[in-house]
Amino acid sequence: MSANPPSATGVRAFVSLGRQRDWIEGRADLRDADERSESLELRFKYAARFQKFLRRPQAQDVLEILARYGQSCIPMPRRTERYYWSVSCLPSTSDKPLVRVSASWMELFTLYADGEDISARFILHLSDFTADGTPIPGHLDEGFPEQCVTTPEDVGHFFPRGADMFGINVRGAASIREFLAAPRALRAIRTFNLTHMNRGRNAYQASHCYSVADYLVGD
């Protein structure tokens, strides 16, 4: 950990950019807080929604994947919880997700019911998926996402609005696990997450579900 200027925003307020780059590349572990800062009001507010989620047939797969995501893709999840990232449970949006992880004003990772199985949506930097590292859709490395899942049919992509934006859809719990374990995909996820966590405080703090977050932070 390093002392950064008080004017630094996001995770840069307590971790240097150099250490962040080391974490992205898997060269460093960032020391997390021993304890979490918790709002009991929010925990109780979403307790009934969490119980409703647990009755879904996909619940156990979702929670196991969220545990992997929290361990691998969020820097210092206890220290950054709610203020720099949050997770919502059965959010009331038109796409009807099971859970959604967000940071700043950006959706990071969303899990959906797909029959009895699940599917995932990742929002990432396009430049991490092009052959030359440029944010140009025509330079997309088409074969790369397919190499990160169990079968090529499990993955698809789209281009959200915004500069250097790329969306990946992955079908099936097995392929989602494969994608989270693929080194280049993991590096891309970490890079995108830190980009938005460094933009400042999370806009979705009020929808943070601590019962779901327990699995992301490992409690």
Mean pLDDT of the chain: 93
pLDDT digits (tens, 9 = 90+) for 133-159: 999 999 999 899 999 999 999 999 999
pLDDT of residue 1: 39
Per-domain residue ranges for the chain? Answer: 10-217
| Low-confidence residues in the chain, pLDDT < 70 | 1-8
pLDDT of residue 7: 54
C-beta separation of 112 from 119 below 8 A: yes
pLDDT of residue 201: 86
What distance in Å separates the CA atoms of residue 43 and residue 110, rounded to the nearest whole number?
20
pLDDT of residue 4: 45
What distance in Å separates the CA atoms of residue 162 and residue 192, rounded to the nearest whole number?
13
The token duo for 144 is 């790369």
* Residue in this structure with the two tokens 């052959």, named with its chain if needed: 131
HEC sequence for the chain: CCCCCCCCCHHHHCCCHHHHHHHHCCCCCCCCCCCCCCCHHHHHHCHHHHHHHHCCCCHHHHHHHHHHHHHHHCCCHHHHECCCEEEEECCCCCCCCCEEEEECCEEEEEEEEECCEEEEEEEECHHHCECCCCCCHHHECCHHHHCCCCCHHHEEEECCCCCCCEEEEEECHHHHHHHHHCHHHHHHHHHHHHHHHCCCCCCCHHHCCHHHHHHHHCC
What distance in Å separates the CA atoms of residue 107 and residue 142, rounded to the nearest whole number?
23
pLDDT of residue 3: 43
Task: Decide: pTM greater than 0.85.
Answer: yes
What distance in Å separates the CA atoms of residue 97 and residue 91, rounded to the nearest whole number?
7
